């Protein structure tokens, strides 16, 4: 994560770890029976332990990645012109997105339906264009797990006018005043209120673009003034404690068990969203405290992160499809899928990075 003057290694590490976590997270969903989660294959065994672990990770994982992406936008605009920025986002986000939609994403979904497809329908006939479906669960040519890349591309361009303005002298003065107002650590928690309101709109369910754009925007703003990070550092342990406590409350009193818009549902919903925000801040604080360094592992993983994100789901589903057919307990199948899928994804990255033609389709800069 680069600015014109310094490298935020903590954000680099959080991005890398967040992407690497996708394999154990998505593989765990194979063993979770939950109508509110999306996974392309399911085992016959339901693991309550994995359900609770994935529920906890879900609280902060994607918000953290969107925060980091917002910060990356701030740094990118510091070293690129607007035209260069647009070209870079188009090449490194839109092109890999389009390539994925047309190639390996359909294979992932085909495997999901392979046991029920007719021979007459075949692979090519299974897919259709359905712009109303982002998860691609019924075989549409849609982003599926690449929805994150789609959102980043849209946010990067749709928010560009305000991002550019915030880097002007007037914009910087606004951020400076905002940063001064946020010097009290608990004042950062208040920002969870607009996030809660955004989430309450229910746009696209869990893939709420309004909610994630606000997170992305906060990431941009927080990266522009270190006073925000100093406030996060002071808040880290309190935010972590609150987030963990809220997780326990959500396990005991699941919000989905209450009727929408009742007082109990609204109270639990507010606590849930504030807990997500608190845990997101806690991850940023922990990263800044413990991960502000670099080494050869980070340098390797930073480049591998984008191809790893793009390909991890396909290899997780392919591996999982065969492993869940084994007569073995979850304690064997789960780590086996994680290890094999991670290894295959890394091998694919090693192949992709060797040619400039393939690098461009997986979001990598041409090799020098």
Instruction: Give the pLDDT confidence score for residue 128 in this predicted structure.
Output: 59
298 near 13, Cβ under 8 Å? yes
Which whole number is the average pLDDT over 54-76? 96
Instruction: Give the pLDDT confidence score for residue 138 in this predicted structure.
Output: 59
Instruction: Give the pLDDT confidence score for residue 15 in this predicted structure.
Output: 98
What does the angle CA 9 – CA 279 – CA 211 come to, to the nearest 5 degrees?
95
Examine the pLDDT at 323 and tell me if it is beyond 80.
yes
Instruction: Give the pLDDT confidence score for residue 231 in this predicted structure.
Output: 93
Q: Which of 77-81, 119-123, 339-343 has the lowest mean pLDDT?
A: 119-123
**What percent of the chain stands above pLDDT 90?**
74
pLDDT in tens, 158-175: 999 999 999 999 999 999
Band of residue 140 on the pLDDT scale cut at 50, 70, 90: low
pTM of the model: 0.93
Cα distance between residue 305 and residue 49, in whole Å: 28
Distances (CA, A) of 276 to 103, 165, 168, 328: 34, 29, 32, 35
Which whole number is the average pLDDT over 315-321? 94
Which whole number is the average pLDDT over 84-95? 97
Cα distance between residue 176 and residue 180, in whole Å: 6
Band of residue 118 on the pLDDT scale cut at 50, 70, 90: very low
Which whole number is the average pLDDT over 292-312? 97
Q: Which of 85-94, 180-189, 276-285, 355-364 has the lowest mean pLDDT?
A: 180-189
Band of residue 261 on the pLDDT scale cut at 50, 70, 90: confident
Band of residue 2 on the pLDDT scale cut at 50, 70, 90: very low
90 near 240, Cβ under 8 Å? no
């Amino acid at each position: 994560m680069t600015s014109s003057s310094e490298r935020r290694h903590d954000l680099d590490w959080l991005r890398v770890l967040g992407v690497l976590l996708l394999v154990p997270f998505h593989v765990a969903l194979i063993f979770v029976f939950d109508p509110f989660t999306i996974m392309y294959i399911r085992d016959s065994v339901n693991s309550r332990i994995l359900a609770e672990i994935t529920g906890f990770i879900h609280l902060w994982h994607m918000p953290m990645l969107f925060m980091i992406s917002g910060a990356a936008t701030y740094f990118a605009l510091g070293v690129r012109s607007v035209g260069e920025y647009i070209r870079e986002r188009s090449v490194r986000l839109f092109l890999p997105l389009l390539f994925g939609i047309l190639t390996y994403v359909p294979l992932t979904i085909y495997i999901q339906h392979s046991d029920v497809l007719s021979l007459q329908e075949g692979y090519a006939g299974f897919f259709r264009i359905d712009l109303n479906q982002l998860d691609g669960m019924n075989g549409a040519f849609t982003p599926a797990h690449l929805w994150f890349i789609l959102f980043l591309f849209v946010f990067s361009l749709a928010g560009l006018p305000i991002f550019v303005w915030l880097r002007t002298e007037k914009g910087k003065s606004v951020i400076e005043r905002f940063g001064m107002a946020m010097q009290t650590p608990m004042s950062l928690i208040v920002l969870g209120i607009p996030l809660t309101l955004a989430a309450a709109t229910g746009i696209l369910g869990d893939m709420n673009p309004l909610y994630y754009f606000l997170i992305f925007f906060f990431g941009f703003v927080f990266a522009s003034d270190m006073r925000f990070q100093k406030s996060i550092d002071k808040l880290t342990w309190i935010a972590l404690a609150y987030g963990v406590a809220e997780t326990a409350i959500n396990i005991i009193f699941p919000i989905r068990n209450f009727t929408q818009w009742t007082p109990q549902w609204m109270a639990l919903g507010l606590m849930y969203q504030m807990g997500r925000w608190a845990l997101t801040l806690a991850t940023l604080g922990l990263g800044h405290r413990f991960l502000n360094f670099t080494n050869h592992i980070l340098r390797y993983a930073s480049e591998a992160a984008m191809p790893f994100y793009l390909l991890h789901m396909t290899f997780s589903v392919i591996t999982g499809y065969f492993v869940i057919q084994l007569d073995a307990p979850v304690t064997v199948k789960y780590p086996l899928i994680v290890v094999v899928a991670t290894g295959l994804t890394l091998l694919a990255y090693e192949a992709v990075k060797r040619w400039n033609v393939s690098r461009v389709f997986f979001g990598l800069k041409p090799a020098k």
